[in-house]
Copies of this chain bind each other. A is one copy, B any other.
Amino acid sequence: MNEIDYLYKSKLNEECGVFGVVNVSNASEVMYYGLHALQHRGQESAGIISTDHKQFYTVKGTGLVNEVFSETNLQTLNGNTAIGHVRYSTQGGSSIDNVQPFLFRHYTGDFGLCHNGNLVNSGELKRQLEISGSIFKSTSDTEIFAHLIKKDTQTNRLEALKQALNKIEGSFAFLALSKRKLYIMRDKNSLRPLSIATLNGGYVISSETCAFESVGATFLRDIKPGEILIIDEAGNQQSDFYAKKTYNNMCAMEYIYFSRPDSDIEGMNVHASRKEAGRILAKEFPVKGDMVLFVPDSSTSAALGYAEQANIPIEMGLIKNKYVGRTFIKPSQELREKGVKMKLSAVPSLVKAKDIILIDDSIVRGTTSKKIIEMLRHAGAKKIHMRIAAPPITHPCFYGVDTSTYDELISGTHTVEEVRQAINADTLKFLSTEGILKATRRDKLCLSCFTGNYPTYTYQDITKANTDDKF
C-alpha cells in the first residue's frame, strides 16, 4: 500500500507473503522480483536469507522491497537457494526484532525460517517452552515454531518436523531453509495459499501465483493441505504429510480482498472470482441507476461484473491520486474542513444529479464508505445505492488478518439497516455467503469472519504471571 492511507486505514490488513527459490542461478535476483510481486501482502519490512550450501547470507530491513534491497546488497546473497518474506506493519515502537526471515542458530544445524499466517495456540506453546527454558526475542509466532523444531534433536529431522507441526494450530505457510534443503509446509486447513512453479530446472515457491508470472516461472501445483515438501540443493523433491485429516478451508478474503487480481488461488483467478461476485450481486440485489462506480483500485473487478450483468454504464467517478506516498503531509484540520482531499476525489461533472450504484469489496469500520458517500453527495450525486461484493464482516479473524476486535467491525454490532444509516447510503446490500462460494466456484471456504464458524479452536487466554518484581 506504500501510503499513509488515512482514508483506508480502517481496511483489513494481510500479514505476510513468502517466496522461496531452490536450485536456480541468480537466486537472490529472482527472489527480488518475487518479493516485489508480493509487496501488496506486506510493506513494513522485507528480508532474504540465501545459502550456497556452505553458509547463510542475510539481508533484512524495514521498508519496501525497493528500499531494503540494492544491487550491492543483493550481490552479497550468494547461492542458488533462498527464502524471502514481506511483512505487514504492526503498531508501536521499533520492530526490527520482528523482521523475517529469522536465522536460528543451533549446534545441530542453523536454519532460516519465515511464515505467513497466525497460530491460535501460540500462548500455551510459548508458556510451555518458557517453562522448559526457552526465551524469546521477537513477538512472532515464527520463533515459537523454531523452538518446537529444536526441542527434539534426537529423532529424525522429518519426524521432528511432523511432531512440531502437530503441536501448532492455526494458519501457516512456512518456508524453512537448511544449508542443503528447502522445507515447505502448509497448514492442514489450507487457510493461506502456497504454490510451486518450475524455473530453469529449479523451483520457486510463492504465497501467490502472480509472482510466478513476474519471474517467468511456470505454475506446477498448489502445496497440499498438511503437506511437507522438501527440495534439496539438486532439486530433488520429497513430499510427506504431517496430518492425516486435511481440509479445504481457503480464506475467503484472499479472493475478496488480499490477493492480486492476476493470482489464481487453487485454480480460480482472483479477478474472475471478483467479477463473478459482482455479477451475482447484480442478480441478488438489482437496482436502477445511471452509472456504476468502483472504488479504485479494490473494487474494479466486482464493479465490472455488476455493470455488465445490469447493463448499466460504468464510469470513473472516483479517482485516486497515485502519488500519495509515505512522506505525504496530511492536511491540517482547517484544510480538511475546507475540503482538501489527498487520495480519493469525486468527479462533479460525472456524478452530478446522477443515481449512483457504488460497488465496494467490503465494509470494515464503515468510516471509509461514509467518507466516499459524503464526497459523492458533495459532488452532486442524487441517489447512492451501495452494493458490497462480500457478506457483512461480523466476526474477527484469528488466522492472520488484522481485524482485531468485534467493536471495530461495524457489522459485528449493527444490522445492515443501521450500517446503511451510519454511512448515509440510500440503499445498502451485501452479497450472500452462497454468492461468494458460487463466485469462487468452490464447495468450501473459511467464511468464519462472516459466520463465526472457525475451522480450528481459537485463542485461549494465558494468565500472565505477575512479573513486576522479577525479570
Q: A301-B316, A470-B157 are in contact. Are A329 and B465 (CB under 8 A)?
A: no
Cβ of A347 under 8 Å from chain B: yes
Q: Is the CB of A467 within 8 A of B109?
A: yes
Q: A94-B58, A341-B213, A350-B272 are in contact. Are A147 and B133 (CB under 8 A)?
A: yes
Identify the closest chain B residue to A336 (Cβ): B216
Query: In the assembly, what is the distance between CA of A334 and CA of B103, in Å?
Result: 30
Interface residues of A in 109-163 (CB under 8 A from B): 109-111, 126-127, 130-139, 143, 146-147, 150-151, 153, 157
Query: In the assembly, what is the distance between CA of A299 and CA of B267, in Å?
Result: 29
Identify the closest chain B residue to A260 (Cβ): B319
- Chain A 187-219: CB-based contact to B (< 8 A → 1; otherwise 0): 000000000000110000000001001111001
Q: Is the CB of B269 within 8 A of A350?
A: yes
The residue from B37, B134, B328, B347 contacting A213, defined by CB atoms under 8 A apart: B347
Return chain B residues, CB-CB under 8 Å to A323. Answer: 2, 36, 39-40, 64-66
Count of interface residues, chain A, beta-carbon cutoff 8 Å:
127
Q: Is the CB of B74 within 8 A of A329?
A: yes
- Chain A 332-355: CB-based contact to B (< 8 A → 1; otherwise 0): 101100111110011111100000
Cβ of A313 under 8 Å from chain B: yes
Cβ of A97 under 8 Å from chain B: yes
Query: In the assembly, what is the distance between CA of A132 and CA of B132, in Å?
Result: 9
Cβ of A413 under 8 Å from chain B: no
Return chain B residues, CB-CB under 8 Å to A220. Answer: none
Identical subunits present:
4
Identify the closest chain B residue to A271 (Cβ): B316
Q: Is the CB of B271 within 8 A of A350?
A: yes
Q: Is the CB of A150 within 8 A of B179?
A: no
Cβ of A262 under 8 Å from chain B: yes
Identify the closest chain B residue to A112 (Cβ): B471
Interface residues of A (CB under 8 A from B): 2, 26, 29-30, 32-33, 36-37, 39-40, 53, 57-61, 64-67, 69-71, 73-74, 76, 92-94, 96-97, 99, 102-111, 126-127, 130-139, 143, 146-147, 150-151, 153, 157, 176-181, 183, 199-200, 210, 213-216, 219, 260-262, 264, 269, 271-272, 275, 297, 300-301, 304, 308, 313-316, 319, 321-329, 331-332, 334-335, 338-342, 345-350, 379, 462, 464-465, 467-471
